[in-house]
Amino acid sequence: MPITNDSEVAVIIPHYNGVRILQDCLQSLQDNTNLPVHVILIDNGSTDSSLEMVHREFPEVQVLQMEENLGFAGGCNAGIRGADSEFVLILNNDTIHRKGWISHLLERIQAADDIAVVQPKIHSYQNKGKFDYSGAAGGEMDIFGFPFARGRLFENIEKDEHQYDQEDDIFWASGTAFLARRKLIIKAGLFDEDFFAHMEEIDLDWRLHLMGYRIVVEPKAVIWHRSGYTLGAETFLKKYLNHRNSLFMFISNYKLFTTGYLLPLRLVLDWLSVFSSFFKGDFKRSAAVIKAHFWILCHPLKILKKRSKAKALRKIGDFEIMNKLYIGSIALTYYLFKKKKYSSLNRPAA
């Protein structure tokens, strides 16, 4: 893996502890990358031996040390600002990669000027042959702001049997790994650091859609991800951030009229989740939704500021945005109508 500061691609890796997974990631990147890249490690205040390992075994990697933990959003933003390449590749530190994967992503994004972001197929490291929970074969979303993915609807994760091998448009690319045009990411306002972690990539991609750009998946590029390594799926913090950030971007990125008629339905769905989770004994999820609503009520100025940003970027209307979304509630479709696979959904014509 030749490392040059004038490479077309800067690989941005946010990191906080976990020396072994970082070592695996950097070694895989070195072994499976066949074009020059500039690797920038954003260290969010690690307290283990991560940095000593990097300086010893990967001296070509540029390290940016943060004085405090800025989370995924803040760490990635620091790396994007510090890069000077045409393209940036956001990459989780708990991934390994198939040979030539970055080349495939680069070829895909360069194929059309209106492509802003491209995602690889993401397989599970722990469950070989299956898609990963975090992004699978490309991210989608319903009109109420609830994300899902091709190959993963809630707890149902499919085997990769080449059913999603098409080069398709998607709504969002997983923050686990995606290649993007650096100038467009900056123009869109970078990751929103109020999110801290979870769904900030979906919010960013929503703004890129508003600007008239496309998000796509490149199935020839494949990586494996240790999903949930950094923040376990059942932690209260993860449940809270997922609910809060989903509602935050929903309220912020739609036009006022669309927000007005969809928000009551969104709140009904949230409270159905509260009561359902409570009776199932999942008190963490119930509390997470309630806390998320309380945060939204207490931060009207943040919402107004975020809505102003979306309005300034907007070049297309909500009708065009909704043509890219699942028309309906993915939660009701999954739990009530028992449709467990992406291929079973009735998708709108784009």
Q: Last residue of a domain, which of 167, 190, 225?
A: 225
Q: Would residue 2 count as lying in a domain? A: no
Both 259 and 202 in one domain: the answer is no
Indicate whether 234 pLDDT > 90: no
What total of structural domains would you count in the chain? 2
Tokens at 162, concatenated: 């080449």
Both 131 and 172 in one domain: the answer is yes
Both 213 and 244 in one domain: the answer is no
- % of the chain exceeding 70 in pLDDT: 95
pLDDT at 266: 97
The closest of 195, 285, 325, 308 to 248, measured between CA atoms, is 195
The dihedral built from the CA positions of residue 70, 191, 227 and 147, taken in this order, carries a sign that is positive
Tokens at 250, concatenated: 């929903």
pLDDT at 2: 53
Q: Are strands 9-15 and 87-91 parallel, antiparallel or unpaired?
A: parallel
Give pLDDT tens digits for 42-66.
999 999 999 999 999 999 999 999 9
pLDDT at 67: 85
Q: What does the pLDDT average to over 325-331? A: 96
Indicate whether 135 pLDDT > 90: yes
pLDDT at 276: 92
pLDDT at 350: 44
CA–CA separation, 330 vs 340, rounded Å? Answer: 10
Burial class for 87, CB neighbours closer than 10 Å (0-12, 13-18, 19+): buried
- pLDDT-derived band at 349, boundaries 50, 70, 90: very low
Q: Would residue 210 count as lying in a domain? A: yes
Q: Would residue 349 count as lying in a domain? A: no
Tokens at 205, concatenated: 């991609």
Both 172 and 221 in one domain: the answer is yes
Indicate whether 14 pLDDT > 70: yes
CA–CA separation, 235 vs 248, rounded Å? Answer: 20
Indicate whether 113 pLDDT > 70: yes
pLDDT at 68: 86
Q: What does the pLDDT average to over 269-276? A: 95
Cβ neighbours for 312, distance < 8 A, ≥ 6 positions apart: none
